[in-house]
Chain A
Amino acid sequence: MPEQKLTGAQIIIKALKDQGVDTIFGYPGGAVLPIYDALFQQNDLRHILVRHEQAAVHAAEGYARSTGKVGCVLVTSGPGATNAVTGLLDALCDSIPLVCLSGQVPTHLIGNDAFQEADTTGITRPCTKHNYLVKDVNNLARTMHEAFYVARSGRPGPVLIDVPKDVQFADGVYVPPGEVKHKTYRPQVKPEIARVEEAIELIANAKRPIFYTGGGVINAGPMAAKLLTQFVKTTGFPITSTLMGLGAFPASDAQWLGMLGMHGTYEANLAMYNCDVMINIGARFDDRVTGKLSEFAPGSKKIHVDIDPSSINKNVAVDIPIVGDCGAVLEAMLTMWKARQKRADQAALKEWWGQIDGWRARKCLNYNRTEAVIKPQYALERLRDALRGKDHYITTEVGQHQMWAAQFLPFDQPNRWLTSGGLGTMGYGLPAAIGAQIAHPDAIVVDVSGEASFLMNMQEIGTAVQYRAPVKVFILNNQYMGMVRQWQELLHGSRFSQSYSEALPDFVKLAEAWGCVGLRATTVAEVDEVIEKMLAVTDRPCIVDIAVDPKENCFPMIPGGKAHNEILLGPDDSPSDATPEDGMVLV
């Protein structure tokens, strides 16, 4: 068969199809016109036109996180690429697999300060797992396939390919995606068995054990979540998880302690502080989780399972590091645990659960239930009850509402909870919800939002309307950048500098202007009715404005620089004497 010559643009489309891509999120521009022309002349690949490139990346993240596939993005040169930067870094921080294609000025103009030129590979180098500038059309197909391999292997992440316009026009040879044997990048998936043995011995002899799991379990796929659940059930140990790990273990299970960390539950944080054996699976000892490092689980032996060797001993020195895929490690642990007929120390475990139940009895998520004003927690409880038993996905923006959603919405399955954890990107939730809705057209997708975060990417309602993506934007409107306001109240003498949401639009009218449904609840009695109406809308987006208590703060809270046992449970706990100066500088 003679070598088939294709244009660079055709090679890109063919490589995407051969990689199993069915949807790409993007925005056209001068430097990607050949690719858009090739897109126009085919029907297998669906293009979702966003309203801003940042949203294209977040939508691809939502698509990737909710399906386990690699998300795809297409943007033009210059501003197209720079607008995508926030999304790329967001995906890097949360280990979301993406391939982002960016147009570039033609090769002979690179470096000439041409129109819409940016040093895209230079700008995105620290914001991606890897990036490429393809200057020869005959390297394009291989680079595309390699990019997908790098994006999804090991610790997943975003990969960018910058393609000059002349390369898109040039004729070149297409190569199909063969078996990838990358010359340098071969992450370790299978664990060292000797380390697993050590871990099993430590786990079997634990008196006060705890599982602390993270996004690595979600990234390892649904099977890893099943294995985790099995292992946790077999041992009978308590389990907590990071924000990114929610859903890997069912929240409805009695062994679930809730999320840990800065706004985690009292029982999860106290169990972490007092444990003697910590089994970290796919979490990275983030500063939101550890609090004061010198007092982090001070009396514990630590096992750390992570696919990224650079995560190990980065923040916290551990006793048994295990490099490998969470699924592979859990499988090895479970097999060995059964083969050696290990059993946890039942007497010690009973005593440990007794202690934990004591902490649970504090009911740390209690709030002041009142008929006078809608508490944000109440609105989320009603949303939770309305969604029970329905196929649904939740995305969030960033701030108080995000933490309340993590505390009050239960996740029993992985890939159902999409939130910006590492980077904390306001404006993530709406485009991510669109991405998830495109991937799961029949599911209910709710973006739990705040009024300030919504304003950051609200233009994407246009995208949702265009593709009839019936996303629900559930705005907990407290008229403040709530988390900023909370920190100002607790740590900066209630000087609410620039945190008031002035000049808000009428969200109901805004929805109507786009031809979607707008709803509002201002009294407790209206909440259920509004949620019911919201869930009944299935052919267009719905924006719900819930007027919540503007003064409510998110508790529990571990102030910056404090240890897990110094957790504040509510407004009556005094934080002023609790926050040391070196803690104030922490964000």
Chain B
Amino acid sequence: MDDSKIEKHTIAVLVDNEPGVLARVIGLFSGRGYNIESLTVAEVNNADHLSRITLVTSGTRMIIEQIKAQLSRLVPVHRVHDLTDEGPSVERELALVKVAGTGEKRIEALRLADIYKATVLDATLTSFVFELTGTTEQVDDFVGLMAQLGLVEASRTGVVAMSKGASGF
């Protein structure tokens, strides 16, 4: 076991949607000193009150295994899947990006948005709010470009992910 290499993992966790469950997960990360690079959570099964947490974390192999074991032993946790380990998966992030400006910069922003397949959610004479869906890298690139064209603010969901193929969670 190479214990020095830092790996980045996307982990999906199915939990009971009950008060305190998110605090339990976050408390585990802060209490034990693990990283959270991103975390998203929303109810995915209304009838059974189940929420799906997708989190991106990094650490040595030993730490990643610990994170999964620690998550699994929380009482309201149903299942823990390491999407990075368990074969190919797709990952997406949604971002809202506000850009303000006029003239050539404004036109360039719109042109780049078109290339990145971002849609315009709000437009004024001096600003746009773009919606962009893509991988973390694509969102990083787009936000980076907008920084030179009047970026005001960006809001990102963090990664949601799912394994490829027919089998489910």
Instruction: Give A residues with C-beta under 8 Å from B.
Output: 121-122, 125-126, 129-131, 133, 150, 154, 183-185, 308-310, 312-314, 317
A184-B76 contact, Cβ under 8 Å, with A310-B66, A310-B70, A317-B1: yes
**Shortest Cβ distance from B14 into chain A, in angstroms?**
9
Does the CB pair A125–B69 fall under 8 Å?
no
Contact flag A183-B72 (CB < 8 Å), given A125-B23, A310-B66, A314-B66:
no
B16–A121 touching, CB < 8 Å: no
Q: Which of B1, B66, B75 has the most CB of A within 10 A?
A: B75
Q: Which residue of B lies closest to A314 (CB)?
A: B66
Once the chains are docked, how many angstroms separate the CA of A310 from the CA of B70? Answer: 6
Does B65 interact with chain A (Cβ within 8 Å)? yes
- Assuming A125-B24, A317-B62, is B19 touching A309 (CB within 8 A)? no
Chain A residues lying within 8 Å of B78, measured Cβ to Cβ, are 183-184
Q: Which residue of B lies closest to A131 (CB)?
A: B20
CA distance A154 to B69 in the complex (A): 14
Do residues B65 and A313 form an inter-chain contact, with CB atoms below 8 A? yes
Shortest CB-to-CB span from B4 to chain A, Å, is 13
Task: Give the Cβ gap from B136 to chain A, nearest Cβ, in Å.
Answer: 29
Closest Cβ neighbor of B28 among chain A residues: A126
Q: Which residues of chain B from 26 to 62 have any CB-CB distance to chain A below 8 Å in the complex?
A: 27, 31, 62
Minimum Cβ distance to chain A for residue B78 (Å) = 5
User: Is B8 among interface residues, defined by CB-CB distance under 8 A?
Assistant: no
Across-interface contacts of A185 in B (CB, < 8 A): 75
Complex Cα–Cα for A150 and B73 (A): 11
Within the complex, the shortest CB–CB distance from A145 to chain B, in Å, comes to 14
**Which residues from B are CB-within-8-Å of A154?**
73
- Please report B residues at the A interface, Cβ cutoff 8 Å: 1, 3, 16, 19-20, 23-24, 27, 31, 62, 65-66, 69-70, 72-73, 75-78
Shortest distance in angstroms between B124's beta carbon and chain A's nearest beta carbon? Answer: 39
On chain B, the residues within 8 Å of A184 by CB distance are 16, 75-78
Expressed in whole angstroms, the minimum distance between the Cβ of B41 and any Cβ of chain A is 17
In angstroms, how far is the closest chain B Cβ from the Cβ of A575?
30
B19 contacts which chain A residues (CB < 8 A)? 133
Q: Are B20 and A121 in contact (CB under 8 A)?
A: yes
In the complex with contacts A183-B78, A184-B78, A314-B66, A309-B23 CB distance below 8 A: no
A485–B24 CA distance with the chains assembled, in angstroms: 39
Q: Is the CB of A310 within 8 A of B73?
A: yes
A133 to B23, alpha carbons, bound, how many Å?
A: 14
In the complex, the chain B residue whose C-beta lies closest to that of A154 is B73
The 3 A-B pairs at the shortest CB distance, nearest first, are namely: A310-B69, A130-B75, A309-B69
Q: How far is B66's CA from A280's CA once the two chains are assembled, in angstroms? A: 19
8 example contacts (A-B, Cβ-Cβ < 8 A) are as follows A121-B20, A125-B24, A126-B27, A183-B78, A309-B72, A310-B73, A313-B66, A314-B69
Chain A residues with CB under 8 Å of B31's CB are 126
Separation of A309 and B73 alpha carbons in the complex (Å): 8
Alpha-carbon distance between A263 and B58 when the two chains are bound, in angstroms: 37
Closest Cβ–Cβ distance, residue A307 to chain B (whole Å): 10
* Docked pose: A308 CA to B73 CA in angstroms: 8
In the complex, what residue of chain B is closest to A311 when comparing beta carbons?
Answer: B69
Contacts of B73 in A (CB 8 A): 154, 308-310
Q: Tell me whether B75 and A122 are in contact (CB under 8 A).
A: no
Cα A312 to Cα B1 with chains together (Å) = 14
Contact of A150 among B20, B23, B66, B75 (CB under 8 A): B75
- Nearest A-chain residue to B65, judged by Cβ: A313
Complex contacts, B69 vs chain A, CB 8 Å:
309-310, 312, 314
* 15 new A-B contacts at CB < 8 Å, known A122-B23, A183-B78, A310-B70: A122-B20, A133-B19, A150-B75, A184-B75, A184-B76, A308-B73, A309-B72, A310-B69, A310-B73, A312-B69, A313-B62, A313-B65, A313-B66, A314-B66, A317-B3
Give the shortest distance, in Å, between B1 (CB) and chain A (any CB). Answer: 6
Chain A proximity of B48: nearest CB distance (Å): 9
Residues of B within 8 A of A130 (CB): 75
Report Cα–Cα, A472/B72, bound state, in Å.
43
- Complex Cα distance A377/B70, Å? 41
Q: How far is the CA of A435 from the CA of B62 in the complex (A)?
A: 40
What CA separation (Å) do A312 and B77 show in the bound complex?
A: 19
Question: How far does the alpha carbon of A131 sit from the alpha carbon of B24 in the complex, in Å?
Answer: 10
CA distance A395 to B27 in the complex (A): 33
- A125 touching B20, Cβ below 8 Å: yes
Which residues of chain B have C-beta atoms less than 8 A from A121's C-beta?
20
Which of B16, B27, B69, B77 has most chain A Cβ within 10 Å? B69
CA distance A317 to B75 in the complex (A): 26
How far, in angstroms, from A308 to B72 measured CA to CA in the complex? Answer: 10
Complex interface: chain A residues within 8 A of B66 (CB): 310, 313-314
Q: Which residues of the partner chain B approach A312 to less than 8 Å between Cβ atoms?
A: 69
Closest B residue to A130 using CB positions: B75
Q: Which residues of B contact A309 (CB under 8 A)?
A: 69, 72-73
Cβ contacts under 8 Å, A126 to chain B: 27, 31
Give A185 to B73 CA distance when docked, in angstroms.
8
A34 to B62 alpha-carbon distance, docked (Å): 49
What residue of chain B has the Cβ atom nearest to residue A129's Cβ? B75
Chain A contacts for B1, CB-based, 8 A:
317
Bound together, the chains give a CA A184 to CA B49 distance in angstroms of 13
A393 vs B9: C-alpha distance in the bound complex, in angstroms? 49
Rounded to whole Å, the gap between the CB of B81 and the closest CB of chain A is: 15
With both beta carbons as reference points, the residue of chain A lying nearest to B20 in the complex is identified as A121
Residues B75 and A125 in contact, CB atoms below 8 Å apart: no
Given the complex, which residues of B lie within 8 Å of A150, measured CB to CB? Answer: 75
Complex CA distance for A308 and B65, rounded to whole angstroms: 13
- Contact partners of A317 in chain B: CB under 8 A: 1, 3, 62
Interchain CA distance A228-B27 in the complex, whole Å: 37
Contacts of A125 in B (CB 8 A): 20, 23-24, 27
How far is A310 from B69 in the complex, measured between Cα atoms in Å? 5
A230–B75 alpha-carbon span in the complex (Å): 35
Bound state CA distance, A125 and B24, in angstroms? 7
A129 CA / B78 CA spacing, docked (Å): 16
Whole-angstrom distance between the Cβ of A333 and the nearest chain B Cβ: 23
Contacts of A310 in B (CB 8 A): 66, 69-70, 72-73
